[in-house]
Structure 1
Amino acid sequence: MATGMPECSPAMLVAAGLAVLAICSYLATIVVRHGAAGAQRYPPVVGTVFHQVYHLRRLHDYFTDLFREHATFRLLAPGGRRQIYTSDTAVVEHILRTNFANYEKGASNYDKMGDLFGDGIFAVDGDKWKQQRKIASYDFSTRALRDFSGGVFNRNAAKLAHIVAGNAAAKQPMDFQALLMKATMDSIFTIAFGVDLGTLSGSDEGSRFAAAFDDASEFILLRYVDAFWKVSRFLNVGAEAALRHRIKVVDEFVYKCIRARADEMSDGSKAHGVEG
């Protein structure tokens, strides 16, 4: 029965098979080369942002484990986005120094951090960042302030060492991370506002502020893995309700310190004017 198709000789079949094999080999070579180039260019994907939620209570340990395997890696996020993490000093220098202008925090980060950090240097880009950076560099470039800062850190380091030594001698357990946090907060606040929080000494007001700021930072972090945080903020429920309360505590304490400092400077100016 005629089929209307020409008969194929064995030679033609062999030639066609070789052609198909050649094409497949060529395509496979391209795929392999592209994959190799991609592997060299892009850091490996080691998980998703949801792994951060799962490991939230041991987040630092989780990332430490990942960094032991890869100096730089990616986590996949909803919407086809990717987060890149690095401990490579060359990459850090490239981002923060060599090509800093190319790595903005962006509107998304500002949206998440703005409630706590406002228009501070940690949350803004562009002209606002330049203004904040200029103020900070001016303050910390003076020799007097550098000497003052060194003295503050040294005093609080001595306090910390005394507390640790006392607990060790008494064989008492201690939360060393919390102690380091208190020493850092006491130092930074003294340098920035001229006020000693006294968290290492057990100050109730200072400890309340430090705890509120620590909690608020954690709630801000949750926004990066909670796709519905804006809904929670609008309804004022869950972590967003707690965040609002913590920010209120932080704001009240900070503005109280600012007003006290402003009054102190005003009184000093008046006294100087009277003496003059």
Structure 2
Amino acid sequence: MVVTANSSTVQHILKSHFHIYQKGDFLRTTLFDFLGDGIFNADGDNWKFQRQVSSHEFNTKSLRKFLENVVDTEISERLIPILSSAAANQTVLNFQDILERFAFDNICKIAFGYDPAYLLSSLPEAKFAVAFEDATRISSQRFNSPVPLVWKIKRALNIGSERKLREAVGEVREFAKEIIKEKKQELKENHPLTRLSRFLSSGHSDENFVTDIVISFILAGRDSTSAALTWFFWLVFGNPEVEKKILEEIKEKSESPVNDEVKDMIYIHASLCETMRLYPPVPTDTKEAAEDDVLPDGTVVRKGMRVIYHPYAMGRVEEAGPRICLGKEMAFLQMKRVVAGVLRRFRVVPAMEEGVEPVFMACLTSKMKGGLPVRIVERLQDSVQRGHTPN
């Protein structure tokens, strides 16, 4: 294999020679039990089709609907009350878990018109959400196996982690199929189209294929934004001068309409970009050469070799630029609303011993090992305690 953080090489494999570098057999085999033929595990025409249909959803109208009808409701009716209660009761929250629940509700509602109600004040242990987390974690662990034959034998014998993975994937797929069943019925009744409905109405009604699509949507919508926001709030706490500028921008833009407010939050946008430079939601990505090739630096790549590019390392190389994501604008709009909604009312204070820092853990997406324990402090209360006159 080749591992790289060279920007010219990454452009080579992702753009100019994209047709050569595919997901490949290694990645597909490792993730197939969980992701099937979903977009993260697909190549060729299958990948192009899923990307094309998904792209229809990322337009101005859908973004506005996403913000106004889903994100703001989830913030005001679920996230803020939980944080207010934690502040009043001086409760320690696992903020990574809170943000994952928030993102999970959002992606299910916007993509499928289904509300799992995972971010309730009781913080329920929803069976599907737990199964989804188990499936993500164990699938990621397969990559760490020094000999893939080990996990394949465990899968064949249905023992250990592979047995747990099979159970978790079964639970996830059963949930996805129930959503698909509901959407098919809604299509018959001419209900408004969701992102899932677009796939169903495009003529691809094979249950297993559409199930793969549902799982990929949830993975993309839950794990990426929640990972970025978790690291963001940790970094903001350690950089009070940045927090001050963020609060100034929130106050300045607070009179604007929702869309204009988040669009014009340039400093928050830059702070989120800096967070993802240091702690990218997807820390590594793997491609497999479909034919012999030579990389820009002269490295010879033979057919079947894996080429792994490393965004975590690239973020620490000055000449590496940003990567474009299909859902980038929607993700930024969501994250900005969360940042503004939370920080205008609360301080998020990590509840760790002094000198202890979170451990970066690379799964399919980046996480904090063990989560991010925090205390929530109302800004008005905090200002009074410090002897300041609140603005």
* TM-score interval, normalised by the smaller of the two chains: 0.5 to 0.7
Tell me, in whole angstroms, the C-alpha distance in 1 between the residues paired with 2:54 and 2:37.
Answer: 14
Tell me, yes or no, if structure 1 residue 138 matches structure 2 residue 56.
Answer: yes
Instruction: State the structure with bigger RCO (CA 8 A, min sep 6), 1 or 2.
Output: 2
Query: Which secondary structure does the structure 1 equivalent of 2:92 belong to?
Result: coil
Tell me, yes or no, if structure 1 residue 150 matches structure 2 residue 72.
Answer: no
Gaps of 5+ in 2: 192-391
- Which amino acid in the other structure matches residue 128 of structure 1? N
- The residue that corresponds to 2:101 in the other structure is 182
Q: Is the 8 A contact 1:189 1:197 kept in 2?
A: yes
Tell me, yes or no, if structure 1 residue 111 matches structure 2 residue 29.
Answer: yes
- Which amino acid in the other structure matches residue 129 of structure 1? W
Out of 172, 183, 200, the residue aligned to residue 119 of structure 2 is 200
Q: Is the 8 A contact 2:82 2:121 kept in 1?
A: no
Query: Which secondary structure does the structure 2 equivalent of 1:140 belong to?
Result: coil
Deviation at 1:225, TM superposition (A): 1.5
Query: Which secondary structure does the structure 1 equivalent of 2:165 belong to?
Result: helix
Tell me, in whole angstroms, the C-alpha distance in 2 between the residues paired with 1:101 and 1:231.
Answer: 33
Tell me, in whole angstroms, the C-alpha distance in 1 between the residues paired with 2:168 and 2:124.
Answer: 13
Q: Is the 8 A contact 1:149 1:191 kept in 2?
A: yes
Tell me, yes or no, if structure 1 residue 191 matches structure 2 residue 110.
Answer: yes
Post-superposition CA distance 1:44-75 (Å, at most 9, x none): xxxxxxxxxxxxxxxxxxxxxxxxxxxxxxxx
Deviation at 1:200, TM superposition (A): 0.2
Distance 1:83 1:223, change over 3 A: farther
Distance 1:92 1:261, change over 3 A: same
1:24-103 map, 5 Å: 81-84=1-4, 96=14, 100-103=18-21
Tell me, in whole angstroms, the C-alpha distance in 1 between the residues paired with 2:169 and 2:154.
Answer: 16
Distance 1:145 1:130, change over 3 A: same
Tell me, in whole angstroms, the C-alpha distance in 1 between the residues paired with 2:153 and 2:174.
Answer: 26
- The residue that corresponds to 2:160 in the other structure is 238
Gaps of 5+ in 1: 1-80, 270-276
- Which amino acid in the other structure matches residue 178 of structure 2? K
TM-score normalised by length of structure 1: 0.60
Post-superposition CA distance 1:66-91 (Å, at most 9, x none): xxxxxxxxxxxxxxx3555x5x8887
Query: Which secondary structure does the structure 2 equivalent of 1:139 belong to?
Result: coil
Distance 1:89 1:83, change over 3 A: closer
| Bigger proportion of residues as helix | 1
Deviating more after overlay: 112-121 vs 91-100: 91-100
Question: Once superposed, what is the RMSD of the aligned Cα atoms?
Answer: 2.7
Query: Which secondary structure does the structure 2 equivalent of 1:223 belong to?
Result: helix
Q: Is the 8 A contact 1:117 1:123 kept in 2?
A: yes
Q: Is the 8 A contact 1:197 1:206 kept in 2?
A: no
Deviation at 1:110, TM superposition (A): 0.7
Tell me, in whole angstroms, the C-alpha distance in 1 between the residues paired with 2:38 and 2:124.
Answer: 24
Out of 263, 266, 270, the residue aligned to residue 185 of structure 2 is 263
Deviation at 1:133, TM superposition (A): 0.6
TM-score normalised by length of structure 2: 0.43
Deviating more after overlay: 260-269 vs 212-221: 260-269
Distance 1:235 1:163, change over 3 A: same
Tell me, yes or no, if structure 1 residue 173 matches structure 2 residue 95.
Answer: no
- Which amino acid in the other structure matches residue 54 of structure 2? A
Distance 1:147 1:96, change over 3 A: farther
Deviating more after overlay: 188-197 vs 198-207: 198-207
Post-superposition CA distance 1:228-270 (Å, at most 9, x none): 111111111111100000011101111111111211232347x
Out of 226, 229, 242, the residue aligned to residue 151 of structure 2 is 229
Number of aligned residue pairs: give it. 186
Distance 1:183 1:89, change over 3 A: farther
Tell me, in whole angstroms, the C-alpha distance in 2 between the residues paired with 1:253 and 1:203.
Answer: 22
Tell me, in whole angstroms, the C-alpha distance in 2 between the residues paired with 1:193 and 1:203.
Answer: 24
Distance 1:203 1:172, change over 3 A: closer
